[in-house]
Structure 1
Amino acid sequence: MYAILDIETTGGKFNEEGITEIAIYKFDGHEVIDQFISLVNPERDIQPFVVNLTGINSNMLRNAPKFYEVAKRIVEITQDCILVAHNAQFDYRILSTEFRRLGFDYERKTLCTVELSKDLIPEQDSYSLGKLVRSLGIPVTDRHRASGDALATVKLFKLLLTKDTTKTIIQKSIKLSAKRKMEPKLLDIIETLPSITGVYYIHKSDGDIIYIGKSNNIKKRINQHFTGTNSKSKKLQSKVASVTYEATGSELVALLKESEEIKKNKPLHNRALRRSTFTHALYVFKDDNGYLNLKIDVADGRKKAITTFSNRESGKSFITRAVEDYNLCQKLSGLYKTKTSCFGYDIKACKGACIQEESAESYNKRVEALIEKNSYSNKNMVIVDRGREVDERSAILIENGVFKGIGFFNLNYQITNLKVLESIITPMENNRDAQHIIQNYLRKNKRLKIITLD
């Protein structure tokens, strides 16, 4: 017997969400034999983006039953059933959290239709519920409402049962719970942690640091460590005595601090991160005709790179966008190997630098603009990002192209003076990893405020 469900929530911080709507269809493998659908008063605010997505607002929930009023019905309809949901880990966590708030230990076996779909219907473009059912010709109404999504999951699950001809994959996929039960000491540690951006340190009983990480939600990340089933997670769970943290507000500051702290402390379980965080780089050279050529290659510390990438695919993606944004030649950017004109020239997207039709002087100006945008070599600037408090900002100082360190300042404080800046900056090492982190972050966050210093 299966209980196929979908839950809509308020959104918000991890493990602080509330249920706004729940739909459960009791399914015997052939047809729905019982159902429960209800709005739920979460007794907390709903995030604006959730209101836009689901259409459920606080006014609709004012007279809806609170969770404790529907809890008994949920227990009854799911009794002796396997919970089935699209991303079962999420729905089961939310449900278990609500019951835990009532002091009730709610345990059910679970099946995830995302995981099943990946096994039984491979090579789909997307496994999100909406796109998946649409590609399979399954009708769905009231998308992003619990009843509509749960009913679509019922139809999807029927299809998956049919496709599992050996009846083995579903049996293997059933889990006692989406997350393993946690030891009391681990639960106590999680309770003390905030849902903020920063760097966290996992300590042994003697105080030694065994792991350092960064997260945009420290509580959620530690929760993942403490419920993980891989080898590293199990080792951390067995050795941890305490977790300390440092708030950064900015993800960039957290990344830089994490990198430096790992190099400094060399924690036992951070071995992979002690190596460089990038493998490939963008290089420029001038060919015999005087044109600037770009090339993505394996990172080489002996050569001066414009910017670096975590892997070759990331570099190739960057160059592909750059060719379009700066109207560059595919051949001179290393994307199109040919002895004649590039494909871009054939479709009139390239001005002909590949066959010397465009002058080197004209073409090189656009390449130099790309280099100027993506390299902070010889620049004096401050990258301004989020701070630890609402009225605070973080500052990452680059002086003569060298990363100097990070600091925090009040919003009312002017930071255009280099001398003043240096007084609030905590010095940090300018290594290749730090340069990669900064350049990578700047590429992905184009709206960052950058102050150029005289």
Structure 2
Amino acid sequence: MYAILDIETTGGKYNEEGITEIAIYKFDGHKIVDQFISLVNPEIPIQPFVVNLTGINNEMLRQAPKFYEVAKRIVEITEDAIIVAHNAKFDYRILQTEFNRLGFEFTRETLCTVELSKKLLPDVKSYSLGKLVRELGIPMSDRHRASGDAKATVILFKLLLSKDSKKEIISNTIRLEPKRQLDSKLLDIIEKIPGETGVYYMHREDGKIIYIGKSKNIKKRIIQHFTSDNRKSKKIQDEVYSVSYEKTGSDLIAQLKESEEIKINKPIYNRALRKTIYQNQLNSYIDENGYINLKIEKADARKKPITTFTNYQQAKSSLFKITETYGLCQKLTGLYQTKGACFSYTIRECAGACIGIESPEEYNKKIEDFIKKNSFENNSFLVIDRGRDVDERSVVYVEKGIFKGIAFYNLNYQITNTDVLSSLITPMANNKDAQHIIQSYLRKYKVLKIIPL
């Protein structure tokens, strides 16, 4: 749990400042679950430059509660939570100073979104809150007011959580959480998990990830883990202390994140998925008569495939569909072994390439159309699909045949704007598994739209 806050002060000498406004949003990693916003009477004058910056003046604060009147609420809303702020060192120091004046020792763990942004967003031009959120396309109102700045920090922090592929933020959060009794722990974990699409992470008590999975219904999948009696599941049940999750909305995004993050984090119970997830690929060659032939082969990293398949049965089934869709010859796609005409020719679904009636030029154009549509090579496009909320969309970005990464964007923004796109994209590895996942998904499922670039 996080307490994302912003504080406005009077300005003045170091450790003599007073709070004029405070906003705290309690955030569970997915949504705001509580909030506290209040002006505060600092009982000292506000510096003129601060009045010009924030618009808060001495008259506005005359009837506002003093700090001791809001202190209890601040303690309650930040209890068992990590304080998150943009330049957390400043906000935390101001809070501690105010509590020290009351004779109360206020101690919380902190996270700074400036430091996290420098690590996870290394290419942005500025890390000041205003410039940073503008470059990332994050909506912001009431700049230099506590509520506006804190709300923008919530959205920024949510973006940083999604970009943290090593899951260091959530793992450290779990390690710092107050330890709880483990009686009925599995039921407690299940109760907090949503029945939505996304990626989930199983942690030991020290925060270390022991298993990563994805599901269209995370709650249902976790229940399966916790009720299964196979050897691996029983080990997970014994070791798991907490389960965190990341909603994706899109199953394609979930598959890509699962594949990437297993390779990065190498969880002990994910051994099978650390390896390549496809076994067969579709290649092409030109025969002695000049016809382009298609052939299913074993996965071979030395060859550049048109597309890939999880197993041979999936490959053969897909190739039958491809042959039918593009009017190809079963003989030249390796689906019908014969020295004469293929079966499709006898039912008028093949134009006769198998017996030389259809010319190589005519036939090869159909093959080239298929390859162009299904191969990544030199293609640039965006795959747009469901997001985590109704007003959000997910993006998979491929540039000149290279998978660049994923993003989420609000429907108010033009995602084809390259500056906004490059800022929002979480870079991901362009490996054979990622390309297989995208190609396989687009073959089997409909997405909202594909935008060529």
> Residue type matched to 1:233 in 2?
S
Alignment of 1:417-436 (within 5 A): 417-436=417-436
The alignment status of 1:268 with 2:268, answered yes or no, reads yes
> Hey, what's the Cα distance between the residues in 1 that align with 2:375 and 2:242?
40
Match of 2:450, SS? strand
Which residue does 2:229 correspond to in 1? 229
Which residue does 2:192 correspond to in 1? 192
Match of 2:337, SS? coil
Match of 2:373, SS? helix
> Hey, what's the Cα distance between the residues in 2 that align with 1:441 and 1:267?
25
Unaligned runs of 5+ in 1: 1-181
> Hey, what's the Cα distance between the residues in 1 that align with 2:234 and 2:279?
29
Please tell me whether the aligned partners of residues 384 and 447 of structure 2 are also in contact (alpha carbons under 8 angstroms).
no
> Residue type matched to 1:307 in 2?
T
CA drift of 1:405 comes to 0.5
Which residue does 2:286 correspond to in 1? 286
Identity of aligned residues (%): 62
Which residue does 1:385 correspond to in 2? 385
Match of 2:451, SS? strand
> Hey, what's the Cα distance between the residues in 1 that align with 2:304 and 2:384?
26
CA drift of 1:338 comes to 1.5
User: 1:408-429: CA deviations, max 9, x gaps?
Assistant: 1111211223333111101111
User: 1:338-387: CA deviations, max 9, x gaps?
Assistant: 22221222332211111111100101111111112212221111000111
Which residue does 1:53 correspond to in 2? none
Which residue does 2:318 correspond to in 1? 318
Which residue does 1:249 correspond to in 2? 249
> Hey, what's the Cα distance between the residues in 2 that align with 1:446 and 1:306?
20
> Hey, what's the Cα distance between the residues in 2 that align with 1:321 and 1:313?
13
CA drift of 1:194 comes to 1.4
> Hey, what's the Cα distance between the residues in 2 that align with 1:343 and 1:241?
59
> Hey, what's the Cα distance between the residues in 2 that align with 1:379 and 1:323?
22
> Residue type matched to 1:197 in 2?
T
> Residue type matched to 1:191 in 2?
E
Please tell me whether the aligned partners of residues 351 and 357 of structure 1 are also in contact (alpha carbons under 8 angstroms).
yes
Please tell me whether the aligned partners of residues 386 and 448 of structure 2 are also in contact (alpha carbons under 8 angstroms).
no
The alignment status of 1:361 with 2:368, answered yes or no, reads no
> Residue type matched to 2:423 in 1?
S
Which residue does 1:371 correspond to in 2? 371
CA drift of 1:448 comes to 3.8
Which residue does 1:204 correspond to in 2? 204
> Hey, what's the Cα distance between the residues in 2 that align with 1:347 and 1:379?
35
The alignment status of 1:446 with 2:443, answered yes or no, reads no
CA drift of 1:324 comes to 1.1
Please tell me whether the aligned partners of residues 199 and 246 of structure 1 are also in contact (alpha carbons under 8 angstroms).
yes
The alignment status of 1:344 with 2:344, answered yes or no, reads yes
Shifted more, 342-351 versus 311-320: the winner is 342-351
> Residue type matched to 1:240 in 2?
V
> Residue type matched to 2:305 in 1?
A
Unaligned runs of 5+ in 2: 1-181
Match of 1:406, SS? strand
> Hey, what's the Cα distance between the residues in 2 that align with 1:223 and 1:446?
28
Match of 1:420, SS? helix
Alignment of 1:33-182 (within 5 A): none
Match of 2:336, SS? coil
Please tell me whether the aligned partners of residues 442 and 448 of structure 1 are also in contact (alpha carbons under 8 angstroms).
no
Alignment of 1:212-223 (within 5 A): 212-223=212-223
> Hey, what's the Cα distance between the residues in 2 that align with 1:265 and 1:219?
22
> Hey, what's the Cα distance between the residues in 2 that align with 1:198 and 1:343?
44
> Hey, what's the Cα distance between the residues in 2 that align with 1:291 and 1:418?
40
Please tell me whether the aligned partners of residues 199 and 214 of structure 2 are also in contact (alpha carbons under 8 angstroms).
yes
> Residue type matched to 2:341 in 1?
S
> Hey, what's the Cα distance between the residues in 2 that align with 1:206 and 1:415?
39
> Residue type matched to 2:339 in 1?
K
Please tell me whether the aligned partners of residues 379 and 398 of structure 2 are also in contact (alpha carbons under 8 angstroms).
yes
CA drift of 1:447 comes to 4.4
> Hey, what's the Cα distance between the residues in 1 that align with 2:446 and 2:188?
39
The alignment status of 1:395 with 2:424, answered yes or no, reads no
> Residue type matched to 1:444 in 2?
K
> Residue type matched to 2:354 in 1?
C
CA drift of 1:232 comes to 1.1
Match of 1:379, SS? coil
Match of 2:254, SS? helix
> Hey, what's the Cα distance between the residues in 2 that align with 1:183 and 1:375?
52
CA drift of 1:205 comes to 1.2
Which residue does 1:335 correspond to in 2? 335
CA drift of 1:325 comes to 1.0
Match of 1:394, SS? strand
> Residue type matched to 2:437 in 1?
I
Match of 1:283, SS? strand
User: 1:160-203: CA deviations, max 9, x gaps?
Assistant: xxxxxxxxxxxxxxxxxxxxxx9611001111111111111101
The alignment status of 1:297 with 2:312, answered yes or no, reads no
Please tell me whether the aligned partners of residues 404 and 430 of structure 1 are also in contact (alpha carbons under 8 angstroms).
yes
Please tell me whether the aligned partners of residues 199 and 215 of structure 2 are also in contact (alpha carbons under 8 angstroms).
yes
Match of 2:235, SS? helix
> Hey, what's the Cα distance between the residues in 1 that align with 2:433 and 2:448?
20
Alignment of 1:27-38 (within 5 A): none
Shifted more, 262-271 versus 183-192: the winner is 183-192
> Hey, what's the Cα distance between the residues in 1 that align with 2:384 and 2:442?
11
> Residue type matched to 2:436 in 1?
H
